[in-house]
Amino acid sequence: MSDLAGQLDIRLHTDAAPAVCITSSRPLTAARVLAGKPVATVAGQLPLLFSVCGTAQAVACARACEAALGLAPAPSAREARTLLLRAETAKEHLWRLLLDWPKALARLDAAQGAVHLAAQSAEREAAMAAAMRAFLQLRAVLGTGGDPFLPGAGSIRPAADGVDAARAILAATATEQVFGADAGQWLATTPTAADLHHWAADTATPAAALVRAVTGAGLADFGRCNVDPLPAAAEASGLLHQLAPLLADAHADAFIAAPRLDGQARETTPLARELARGGLVAALVADHGNGLLPRLAALLAELARDTARLGARVQDATDEPQDAAIAVAAEPDTDLGPCVGLGAAPAARGLLVHRVAVTPAATPDSAQVRDYRILAPTEWNFHPEGVVARGLADIAAAGAGQRAARSASGHLEALARLHVTAVDPCVDYRLSVV
């Protein structure tokens, strides 16, 4: 099946009336093609529609279908889902830290350390390739003992040696390229902003160089704006109940394209998740709001947390509310109707929500999908009035009246790309400064 990505078009107007315009060609209703197919077929096909965060898509799909059908996976299947979801998030964060952030910062003359880092990319690219292979190996090994993403999946028994080998490579990449130490040790010894700066000054990894480049270029507050996060994952069950009627009514397509909660655009990112945990990121947000340094620290903290947990046995995903995939089922006295379920997963870029309606059936195996809808983090974060748009508005305002200077226009574009990279869309984008 073809990938359903689409593209974002981001335009900064820097004339006398500076403005930001974000439009999307993402096929937000494409999941409707799944209607009429057996639930098990949909659970197998849906992740193939997405080239990014396929594991999060599979988890959200499985949980939504289980909620609709009243099923529950075996503990080993739940464990496998959680392990692979953490590994996917770690892999995505490694990509951002080792490849995307250095490239974005290198466009700025003020971030000289990042310019040097971008020029020394071969080792990081090789490390990232090894991490990608390890993730694919882990996914393949976990599938050999049974499909953990099948709704109501039974017990699975993957080869332990293959799982341990893949986890070791991911952990080693994080140690060598990011933390310069064991991930759990970094997390325990870096609870404050001062600790982060001391670590960055004393560590020779590419990630430490990013922290030095951001602070040295005076970009710690860059992109700061007033956009509240979605409720923390610990409150996500209540959030799903709030979203349920919005995803079911006649205006659901418009809501999915530009979602709001209580009338406001919201943010759902690693920063939002780590802010709810307190500690390092909360301390940085107190000083810099949702600026660039807190976003970078959130990637580091979440990568450390997920990497440290890759080696731990997950007895029950619900023991970790920040990482849990949460589901709600339609109850007889709700407006959802029968055989409807919502499932959520904390994807690398934010909260991913699936809604499925299935046909009543004598057995779960004979149930078919009636309707399928997906609310992705990109639609929250790249909302026309959301965190990216508001952060870019300050850049557009700063560039007003400077169009005569080509160098100034290039600098504004570099800043804009840095902000977009920091929030991170799950699709390609086209950026123009006009």
pLDDT, one tens digit per residue, over 81-104 is: 999 999 999 999 999 999 999 999
The C-alpha atoms of residue 167 and residue 162 are separated, in whole angstroms, by 9
Query: Are the CB atoms for 225 and 390 separated by under 8 Å?
Result: yes
Q: What is the pLDDT of residue 326?
A: 66
Asked which of 111-120, 180-189, 377-386, 415-424 is least confident by mean pLDDT, the reply is 111-120
Specify the pLDDT at position 328: 65
Report the pLDDT value the prediction gives residue 337, as an integer from 0 to 100: 66
Q: Greater confidence, 275 or 158?
A: 275
Give this prediction's pTM. 0.92
Report the range of poorest mean pLDDT among 141-150, 164-173, 309-318: 309-318
For residue 129, give every residue at least 6 positions away whose Cβ sits within 8 Å of its Cβ, in sequence order, or none: none
How many angstroms separate the CA atoms of 151 and 134, rounded?
26
pLDDT of residue 115: 58
Q: What pLDDT, on a 0 to 100 scale, did the predictor assign at position 268? A: 95
Model pLDDT, residue 187:
96
For 98-153, what is each residue's pLDDT tens digit?
A: 999 999 998 887 666 665 666 678 899 999 999 999 999 999 999 888 899 999 99
CA distance 258 to 265: 8
43 alpha-carbon distance from chain centroid: 20
More confident residue, 178 or 402: 178
pLDDT at 2: 47
Q: Of 4-8, 175-179, 315-319, which one has max mean pLDDT?
A: 175-179
pLDDT of 173 over the 90 cut: yes
Q: What is the mean pLDDT of the chain?
A: 88
Checking if the pLDDT of 332 tops 70, the result is no
For residue 311, is pLDDT > 90?
no
Q: Are 356 and 380 in contact (CB under 8 A)?
A: no
